[in-house]
Amino acid sequence: MHELPRAGDIVELSMEAIAPNGKGKGSSRAAGSEKLSFFVARTAPGDVITACVTGARKRYVEAELVEVIEASRLRVEPICPHYDECGGCQVMHLSYAAQLDAKREIVRYILARHGFDRELAGPVVASPSELRYRLRSKLFLTPELTPGLRAWRSHRVVPIRQCFQMHTELERGLLGAARFAPEMLASRSPVATLLGVCDLGSGRVLLQAGAAGEDAPRIAGWFTVDEKGAHGETQPLCRVQAAGFDLQYAPDCFTQVNADANDLLVAHAVQAMAVRPTDSVLELFSGIGNFTLPLATRARSVTAVEWPRATRFAKDNAKKAGLSNIAHLGKDVVDALRDLTGRQIRFDRALLDPPREGLGETGCNLLSEAAPQRIVYVSCEPTTLAADLASLTRQSYRLVSVTPFDMFPQTFHVETCAIMDKE
């Protein structure tokens, strides 16, 4: 039996991989510690480092980087001056090719942990832009209204002067608006956050402030700013092109933050659906129509399920595109599945794109009752994806492939598109 290291111990480690939580995973060079995994942020596979232990469990140890003794050849100099402190870009110290390899390994590892063949995960589809891809970001403000981002896994605000994830227009609009944030609040509470959404249609940045200590801040609406101050927007609408369609939406609706990578994802997912002109398609978590419209041009009909708020925009977007074969169900996904399967309605194909929580066991069972021959599952959280894929496997679906997409360069987050077929 090896002895567990204690907080404060300095250990020498060989780093081997990037773990699903974005930290580097390594093992100790000391004899007898082979079975322990060490997790150390901001390390690269191939590094030899010293680290200071911060906590130890039965099988793994958390530690903080002290010194890189031998630097991995996968390392690059992070371009951002805030990298050391800011929690936003956890893998900016890896070359872009190494980031993509690390994300593929994360997906493979999670698949294997859920009993799937790790080889089913293909190479990661790169983002067209490695930097300046974000069209939506939230800043945290200090009491003096200095704009910042949070340190990694901490509430501490790190003041920033720039952010290489943000689209240039978004960076300029958000950072420049921080001093006007109190004008955007409905209450006199201290302002804590500032959300910005860049409207590619007009180049404007729409802004919304959040008050400190309010989980659901009383929203005073959306604003734009100029040198004179903040101005309320009576019609806060944004536009984005997705897969050749013009989509209009309110800034509080979900849209992918990386429009160029989204185009690649939509093209891949729609092709993966292999829709025939006679097919009826079920789409769950359909948002403002990102996948719905290209699917509707190929299918006999699409039934799109989404909360009422975004459904309103999805309907308008379909109408503008001249598509009349979409049934919009503005309700909870599981309720809609219960209703559809209760009425014995069946589908030829299904596409789902849930939030981080996934669809869940009940939803997966109901989805399988709708009996689509093929399911395409788009996900931003590989662990809930794998759990849902495992549920669907128990309902006679077979995993065909998983294609990871780099929607969020410089971070450890990974988007995936999985294909399942009915056995």
Ligand X SMILES: C[S@@+](CC[C@H](N)C(=O)[O-])C[C@H]1O[C@@H](n2cnc3c(N)ncnc32)[C@H](O)[C@@H]1O
Please give the positions annotated as active site: 380
- The two beta strands, 136-141 and 191-198, are antiparallel
Least Å distance, CB 290 to ligand X, is 3
Beta carbon of residue 153, minimum distance to ligand X (angstroms, whole number): 23
Smallest gap from residue 204 Cβ to ligand X (A): 21
Overall residue count recorded for the chain in this entry = 423
CB of 254 to ligand X, least distance (A): 4
CA 11 – CA 18 distance, rounded (Å): 19
Interface with ligand X (CB under 6 A), residue from 43, 72, 290, 368: 290
* Interaction between residue 286 and ligand X (CB under 6 A): yes
244 belongs to the binding site for ligand X (CB under 6 A): no
Q: Which residue has the tokens 């909870």?
A: 332
Query: Is residue 126 within a helix (H) or strand (E), and if so which, with residue range?
Result: none
Pick the piece of the chain touching ligand X (CB under 6 A) from 34-42, 147-155, 217-225, 286-294: 286-294
Residue 263 is a binding residue for ligand X (CB under 6 A): no
384 binds ligand X (CB under 6 A): no
Q: Is 291 in the site for ligand X (CB under 6 A)?
A: yes
Q: How far apart are CA 118 and CA 129, in angstroms?
A: 28
Pull the structure tokens for residue 416. 């995936």
* By the rule CB under 6 A, 249 interacts with ligand X: no
Stretch that binds ligand X, among 87-95, 124-132, 294-302, 347-355 (CB under 6 A): 347-355
Number of residues that bind ligand X (CB under 6 A): 17
Question: Of the ranges 191-199, 202-210, 285-293, 398-406, which one interacts with ligand X (CB under 6 A)?
Answer: 285-293
Pairwise CA distance, residues 240 & 249, whole Å: 8
Q: Minimum Å distance from CB 362 to ligand X?
A: 11
Alpha helices in 114-258 (DSSP H): 168-177
The residue within the footprint of ligand X, chosen from 99, 165, 255, 303 (CB under 6 A), is 255
d(CA 412, CA 124): 13
* Pick 133 or 285: Cβ nearer ligand X: 285
Q: Is 381 in the site for ligand X (CB under 6 A)?
A: no
Query: Do residues 162 and 289 make contact, with C-beta atoms less than 8 angstroms apart?
Result: no
- Determine, following the binding rule CB under 6 A, whether residue 285 of this chain makes contact with ligand X: yes
**CB-wise, 226 or 335, nearer to ligand X?**
335
Give the distance from CA 369 to its chain's centroid: 28
Q: Smallest Cα–Cα separation from 411: which of 137, 143, 160? A: 137
- Cα(245)–Cα(106) distance, integer angstroms: 33
Taking CB under 6 A as the binding criterion, the range among 88-96, 166-174, 193-201, 349-357 that sits at the site for ligand X is 349-357
Q: How distant, in Å, are the alpha carbons of 2, 83, 151 from that of 161?
A: 47, 12, 15
- CB-CB contact of 363 with 338 (8 Å): no
Among 101, 105, 353, 381, binds ligand X (CB under 6 A): 353
Q: What is the DSSP string of 163-185?
A: -TTB-HHHHHHHHHHGGGGGGGB
Region of 123-131, 294-302, 348-356, 394-402 interacting with ligand X (CB under 6 A): 348-356
Nearer to ligand X, 286 or 410 (CB): 286
Contact flag: residue 339 with ligand X (CB under 6 A)? no
| Residue selected from 94, 135, 141, 310 as contacting ligand X according to rule CB under 6 A | 310
Residue in 88, 230, 252 with CA at minimum distance from that of residue 173: 230
The residue from 287, 294, 358, 409 that contacts ligand X (CB under 6 A) is 287
Burial 392-408 (b: 16+ CB within 10 A, else e): bbebebebeebbbbbbb
Q: Write out the residues near ligand X by the rule CB under 6 A.
A: 254-256, 285-287, 290-291, 305-307, 310, 332-333, 353-355
